[in-house]
Amino acid sequence: MTRFAYVNGRYETQSAASVSIEDRGYQFADGVYEVVALWNGCPIDLLGHMDRLERSMAEVQFPNPPSRMALKVIARELVRLNRIRTGILYIQINRGAAPRNHPFPGDHINCSVVMTVRHGLGPSDTEIENGVALKVEEDQRWRRRDIKTIGLLPNVLTKQAAKSVGAFEALLVNPDGTVTEASAANVWLVDAGGDLVTRPLGLDILGGITRARVMALAADAGRKVREATFTLDQVLAAREVFLTGTTTFVLPVTKIDHTVIANGHPGEIACDLRDRYQAFLNAHEPDTSWHVG
Protein backbone atom coordinates (compact mmCIF):
# COMPACT_ATOMS: atom_id res chain seq x y z
CA MET A 1 0.00 0.00 0.00
CA THR A 2 1.27 3.46 -0.91
CA ARG A 3 2.26 5.41 2.14
CA PHE A 4 2.00 9.18 2.22
CA ALA A 5 4.21 11.60 4.09
CA TYR A 6 3.88 15.30 4.73
CA VAL A 7 6.90 17.48 3.93
CA ASN A 8 6.79 21.27 4.09
CA GLY A 9 3.32 21.87 2.74
CA ARG A 10 2.95 18.78 0.53
CA TYR A 11 1.48 15.33 0.98
CA GLU A 12 3.62 13.02 -1.14
CA THR A 13 4.19 9.32 -1.47
CA GLN A 14 6.84 8.31 1.04
CA SER A 15 9.23 7.19 -1.69
CA ALA A 16 9.01 10.58 -3.45
CA ALA A 17 9.10 12.75 -0.33
CA SER A 18 12.45 14.42 0.38
CA VAL A 19 14.08 17.28 2.24
CA SER A 20 16.91 19.57 1.17
CA ILE A 21 20.45 18.43 1.93
CA GLU A 22 20.86 21.86 3.55
CA ASP A 23 18.10 20.98 6.00
CA ARG A 24 19.37 21.68 9.50
CA GLY A 25 17.78 18.51 10.81
CA TYR A 26 20.08 16.60 8.49
CA GLN A 27 23.12 18.84 8.99
CA PHE A 28 22.99 19.50 12.73
CA ALA A 29 20.20 17.43 14.26
CA ASP A 30 18.86 20.95 14.88
CA GLY A 31 15.32 19.79 15.37
CA VAL A 32 12.78 18.35 17.75
CA TYR A 33 10.25 15.57 17.37
CA GLU A 34 7.34 13.67 18.81
CA VAL A 35 6.06 10.14 18.34
CA VAL A 36 2.35 9.75 18.97
CA ALA A 37 0.55 6.41 19.25
CA LEU A 38 -2.50 5.99 17.01
CA TRP A 39 -5.27 3.75 18.35
CA ASN A 40 -8.53 3.30 16.49
CA GLY A 41 -7.31 6.11 14.26
CA CYS A 42 -7.05 8.45 17.28
CA PRO A 43 -3.86 10.12 18.49
CA ILE A 44 -3.30 9.11 22.12
CA ASP A 45 -2.49 11.88 24.61
CA LEU A 46 -2.14 14.39 21.77
CA LEU A 47 -2.41 17.28 24.24
CA GLY A 48 0.61 16.06 26.20
CA HIS A 49 2.60 15.53 23.00
CA MET A 50 1.71 18.99 21.68
CA ASP A 51 2.62 20.60 25.01
CA ARG A 52 5.99 18.84 24.98
CA LEU A 53 6.59 19.70 21.32
CA GLU A 54 5.86 23.38 21.95
CA ARG A 55 8.14 23.33 24.96
CA SER A 56 10.91 21.68 22.92
CA MET A 57 10.51 24.26 20.12
CA ALA A 58 10.64 27.10 22.62
CA GLU A 59 13.73 25.65 24.34
CA VAL A 60 15.64 25.50 21.04
CA GLN A 61 14.31 28.96 20.10
CA PHE A 62 12.54 28.37 16.80
CA PRO A 63 11.46 31.85 15.64
CA ASN A 64 8.31 30.78 13.75
CA PRO A 65 7.09 27.49 15.20
CA PRO A 66 4.03 25.98 13.50
CA SER A 67 0.83 26.22 15.54
CA ARG A 68 -0.59 23.14 17.19
CA MET A 69 -3.79 23.65 15.22
CA ALA A 70 -1.87 23.50 11.92
CA LEU A 71 -0.02 20.40 13.09
CA LYS A 72 -3.27 18.74 14.14
CA VAL A 73 -4.86 19.41 10.73
CA ILE A 74 -1.83 17.92 8.93
CA ALA A 75 -1.72 14.90 11.24
CA ARG A 76 -5.41 14.17 10.77
CA GLU A 77 -5.12 14.37 6.98
CA LEU A 78 -2.09 12.09 7.00
CA VAL A 79 -3.86 9.49 9.14
CA ARG A 80 -6.85 9.68 6.77
CA LEU A 81 -4.71 9.37 3.61
CA ASN A 82 -2.84 6.37 5.01
CA ARG A 83 -5.98 4.75 6.53
CA ILE A 84 -4.17 4.04 9.76
CA ARG A 85 -6.06 2.56 12.71
CA THR A 86 -3.26 1.35 14.97
CA GLY A 87 0.17 2.76 14.41
CA ILE A 88 2.62 5.58 14.96
CA LEU A 89 2.60 9.23 13.98
CA TYR A 90 6.07 10.78 13.72
CA ILE A 91 6.43 14.56 13.73
CA GLN A 92 9.75 16.32 13.13
CA ILE A 93 10.13 20.08 13.21
CA ASN A 94 13.56 21.53 12.54
CA ARG A 95 15.10 24.93 11.99
CA GLY A 96 14.73 24.69 8.22
CA ALA A 97 17.07 24.70 5.25
CA ALA A 98 19.90 27.25 5.02
CA PRO A 99 23.58 27.28 3.98
CA ARG A 100 25.51 25.24 6.57
CA ASN A 101 26.66 27.46 9.42
CA HIS A 102 26.34 26.78 13.15
CA PRO A 103 24.47 29.95 14.26
CA PHE A 104 20.74 30.27 13.68
CA PRO A 105 20.02 31.22 10.05
CA GLY A 106 17.64 34.05 10.95
CA ASP A 107 13.92 34.63 11.34
CA HIS A 108 13.28 34.66 7.59
CA ILE A 109 13.90 30.89 7.40
CA ASN A 110 10.81 28.81 8.11
CA CYS A 111 10.91 25.62 10.13
CA SER A 112 10.82 22.36 8.20
CA VAL A 113 7.83 20.22 9.11
CA VAL A 114 7.88 16.50 8.34
CA MET A 115 5.24 13.96 9.34
CA THR A 116 5.02 10.28 8.65
CA VAL A 117 2.78 7.49 9.89
CA ARG A 118 3.32 3.78 10.20
CA HIS A 119 1.06 0.81 10.75
CA GLY A 120 1.58 -1.30 13.84
CA LEU A 121 2.49 -0.46 17.39
CA GLY A 122 4.09 -1.99 20.42
CA PRO A 123 6.22 -5.00 21.34
CA SER A 124 5.49 -8.51 20.04
CA ASP A 125 3.13 -10.91 21.81
CA THR A 126 6.11 -13.05 22.85
CA GLU A 127 7.88 -10.05 24.35
CA ILE A 128 4.77 -9.14 26.26
CA GLU A 129 4.21 -12.75 27.44
CA ASN A 130 7.82 -13.45 28.45
CA GLY A 131 8.96 -10.01 29.48
CA VAL A 132 12.19 -8.56 28.10
CA ALA A 133 15.88 -8.39 29.12
CA LEU A 134 17.89 -5.24 29.81
CA LYS A 135 21.62 -4.47 29.75
CA VAL A 136 23.19 -1.84 32.00
CA GLU A 137 25.04 0.92 30.11
CA GLU A 138 26.59 4.18 31.22
CA ASP A 139 24.30 7.10 30.32
CA GLN A 140 26.59 8.86 27.87
CA ARG A 141 24.09 10.91 25.95
CA TRP A 142 25.76 14.18 24.87
CA ARG A 143 28.97 13.16 26.61
CA ARG A 144 30.80 11.57 23.68
CA ARG A 145 32.34 14.78 22.41
CA ASP A 146 35.24 12.81 20.97
CA ILE A 147 32.99 11.59 18.13
CA LYS A 148 32.50 14.04 15.27
CA THR A 149 28.79 13.39 15.19
CA ILE A 150 26.22 15.46 13.32
CA GLY A 151 24.30 15.63 16.63
CA LEU A 152 25.39 19.27 16.91
CA LEU A 153 22.41 20.89 18.57
CA PRO A 154 24.33 21.67 21.80
CA ASN A 155 27.11 23.19 19.69
CA VAL A 156 24.59 25.22 17.69
CA LEU A 157 22.95 26.57 20.84
CA THR A 158 26.23 27.56 22.48
CA LYS A 159 27.62 29.13 19.31
CA GLN A 160 24.43 31.13 18.92
CA ALA A 161 24.64 32.25 22.56
CA ALA A 162 28.17 33.52 21.81
CA LYS A 163 27.11 35.24 18.60
CA SER A 164 24.18 36.93 20.32
CA VAL A 165 26.61 38.87 22.55
CA GLY A 166 29.03 39.63 19.71
CA ALA A 167 31.53 36.91 20.62
CA PHE A 168 33.21 34.74 17.99
CA GLU A 169 32.92 31.47 19.88
CA ALA A 170 31.70 29.91 23.10
CA LEU A 171 34.24 28.74 25.67
CA LEU A 172 32.79 25.55 27.12
CA VAL A 173 33.28 24.67 30.77
CA ASN A 174 32.52 21.33 32.42
CA PRO A 175 30.53 21.15 35.68
CA ASP A 176 33.85 20.49 37.46
CA GLY A 177 35.08 23.93 36.36
CA THR A 178 37.58 22.71 33.78
CA VAL A 179 37.53 24.12 30.28
CA THR A 180 36.85 21.63 27.50
CA GLU A 181 36.92 23.38 24.13
CA ALA A 182 34.91 25.82 21.99
CA SER A 183 31.74 24.88 20.10
CA ALA A 184 33.76 24.20 16.93
CA ALA A 185 37.43 24.61 17.88
CA ASN A 186 40.02 23.44 20.41
CA VAL A 187 41.25 25.81 23.10
CA TRP A 188 44.84 26.52 24.09
CA LEU A 189 46.56 28.75 26.60
CA VAL A 190 50.10 29.91 27.08
CA ASP A 191 51.13 29.77 30.74
CA ALA A 192 53.37 32.18 32.62
CA GLY A 193 56.45 30.15 31.67
CA GLY A 194 55.59 30.28 27.95
CA ASP A 195 54.49 26.65 27.71
CA LEU A 196 51.49 25.76 25.57
CA VAL A 197 48.68 23.95 27.36
CA THR A 198 45.69 22.20 25.81
CA ARG A 199 43.25 19.67 27.20
CA PRO A 200 44.24 16.00 26.81
CA LEU A 201 42.31 13.86 24.37
CA GLY A 202 39.41 11.98 25.94
CA LEU A 203 35.65 11.85 25.88
CA ASP A 204 35.34 15.57 26.66
CA ILE A 205 36.78 17.06 23.48
CA LEU A 206 36.98 16.41 19.78
CA GLY A 207 40.50 15.40 18.81
CA GLY A 208 41.18 18.29 16.44
CA ILE A 209 43.23 17.62 13.33
CA THR A 210 44.50 21.20 13.58
CA ARG A 211 45.29 20.65 17.27
CA ALA A 212 47.58 17.77 16.29
CA ARG A 213 49.17 19.79 13.47
CA VAL A 214 49.78 22.78 15.73
CA MET A 215 51.33 20.48 18.34
CA ALA A 216 53.80 19.29 15.74
CA LEU A 217 54.51 22.85 14.53
CA ALA A 218 55.04 24.01 18.12
CA ALA A 219 57.45 21.13 18.77
CA ASP A 220 59.35 22.06 15.57
CA ALA A 221 59.62 25.60 16.95
CA GLY A 222 61.10 24.22 20.17
CA ARG A 223 58.08 25.04 22.28
CA LYS A 224 56.91 22.86 25.12
CA VAL A 225 53.32 21.60 24.82
CA ARG A 226 51.59 20.17 27.88
CA GLU A 227 48.34 18.25 27.56
CA ALA A 228 46.59 19.05 30.83
CA THR A 229 43.19 20.11 32.11
CA PHE A 230 42.84 23.74 33.14
CA THR A 231 40.18 25.87 34.76
CA LEU A 232 38.39 28.96 33.53
CA ASP A 233 40.38 31.05 36.04
CA GLN A 234 43.60 29.76 34.53
CA VAL A 235 42.41 30.72 31.05
CA LEU A 236 41.44 34.21 32.19
CA ALA A 237 44.86 34.70 33.80
CA ALA A 238 46.82 33.19 30.90
CA ARG A 239 49.56 35.00 29.02
CA GLU A 240 47.84 34.08 25.76
CA VAL A 241 44.76 32.16 24.67
CA PHE A 242 44.03 30.86 21.19
CA LEU A 243 41.77 28.51 19.25
CA THR A 244 42.64 25.92 16.62
CA GLY A 245 40.38 24.40 13.99
CA THR A 246 40.18 23.45 10.34
CA THR A 247 38.54 26.72 9.33
CA THR A 248 39.96 28.99 12.05
CA PHE A 249 43.59 27.76 11.77
CA VAL A 250 45.26 29.40 14.81
CA LEU A 251 43.12 32.24 16.10
CA PRO A 252 44.20 34.49 18.99
CA VAL A 253 41.61 35.20 21.71
CA THR A 254 41.81 38.61 23.36
CA LYS A 255 38.65 38.75 25.45
CA ILE A 256 36.48 36.26 27.35
CA ASP A 257 33.18 37.64 28.62
CA HIS A 258 34.31 40.92 30.21
CA THR A 259 37.88 39.87 30.90
CA VAL A 260 40.60 41.13 28.61
CA ILE A 261 43.32 38.53 28.10
CA ALA A 262 46.80 39.85 28.95
CA ASN A 263 47.19 43.25 27.22
CA GLY A 264 44.20 42.69 24.92
CA HIS A 265 46.31 42.12 21.80
CA PRO A 266 46.95 38.86 19.96
CA GLY A 267 49.79 37.06 21.72
CA GLU A 268 53.26 36.69 20.24
CA ILE A 269 53.25 32.89 20.41
CA ALA A 270 49.77 32.56 18.89
CA CYS A 271 50.81 34.84 16.03
CA ASP A 272 54.01 32.88 15.50
CA LEU A 273 52.03 29.62 15.38
CA ARG A 274 49.55 31.15 12.98
CA ASP A 275 52.47 32.18 10.72
CA ARG A 276 53.87 28.66 10.94
CA TYR A 277 50.48 27.21 10.13
CA GLN A 278 50.24 29.57 7.14
CA ALA A 279 53.68 28.41 5.98
CA PHE A 280 52.52 24.81 6.37
CA LEU A 281 49.50 25.64 4.16
CA ASN A 282 51.66 27.39 1.58
CA ALA A 283 54.02 24.43 1.40
CA HIS A 284 51.24 22.49 -0.35
CA GLU A 285 51.98 22.53 -4.06
CA PRO A 286 48.83 22.57 -6.19
CA ASP A 287 47.43 19.06 -6.71
CA THR A 288 50.29 17.13 -5.09
CA SER A 289 49.13 16.60 -1.56
CA TRP A 290 46.21 14.23 -1.71
CA HIS A 291 47.77 11.60 0.55
CA VAL A 292 45.20 9.84 2.65
CA GLY A 293 46.96 6.60 3.51
Task: Tell me which stretch binds ligand PLP (CB under 6 A): 78-86, 127-135, 203-211, 275-283.
Answer: 203-211
Q: For the stretch 123-155, what's the b/e string if a residue is b when 16 or more beta carbons lie within 10 angstroms of its beta carbon?
A: eeeeeeeeeeeeeeeeeeeeeebeeeeeebbeb
Using the minimum distance from each CB to ligand PLP, give the nearer residue, 66 or 245.
245
Using the minimum distance from each CB to ligand PLP, give the nearer residue, 87 or 245.
245
Q: Is 186 a binder of ligand PLP (CB under 6 A)?
A: yes
**148 classed as catalytic:** yes
Q: Is 27 a binder of ligand PLP (CB under 6 A)?
A: no
Using the minimum distance from each CB to ligand PLP, give the nearer residue, 184 or 238.
184
Q: Which amino acid makes up residue 186?
A: N
Task: Tell me which stretch binds ligand PLP (CB under 6 A): 85-93, 135-143, 224-232, 240-248.
Answer: 240-248
Q: Strands, E, within 131-198: which ranges?
A: 171-173, 179-182, 186-190, 196-198
Write the CB contacts of 236 (distance below 8 Å, at least 6 apart in sequence): 256, 259, 261
Using the minimum distance from each CB to ligand PLP, give the nearer residue, 13 or 149.
149
Task: Tell me which stretch binds ligand PLP (CB under 6 A): 81-89, 119-127, 182-190, 265-273.
Answer: 182-190
- Catalytic-role residue among 148, 163, 224, 255: 148
CA 130 to chain centre: 40
Provide the sign of the torsion angle of the four alpha carbons 224, 258, 202, 104, taken in this order.
negative
* 185 contacts 249 by C-beta, under 8 angstroms: no
| The binder of ligand PLP chosen from 87, 245, 252, 266 (CB under 6 A) | 245
Site string for ligand PLP, 207-226 (x = CB under 6 A): -xxxx---------------
Write the CB contacts of 39 (distance below 8 Å, at least 6 apart in sequence): 85, 86, 121
For residue 35, give the nearest of 20, 18, 16, 48 by alpha carbon: 48
Catalytic residues: 148
Residues found near ligand PLP in the complex (CB under 6 A): 181, 184-186, 206, 208-211, 244-246
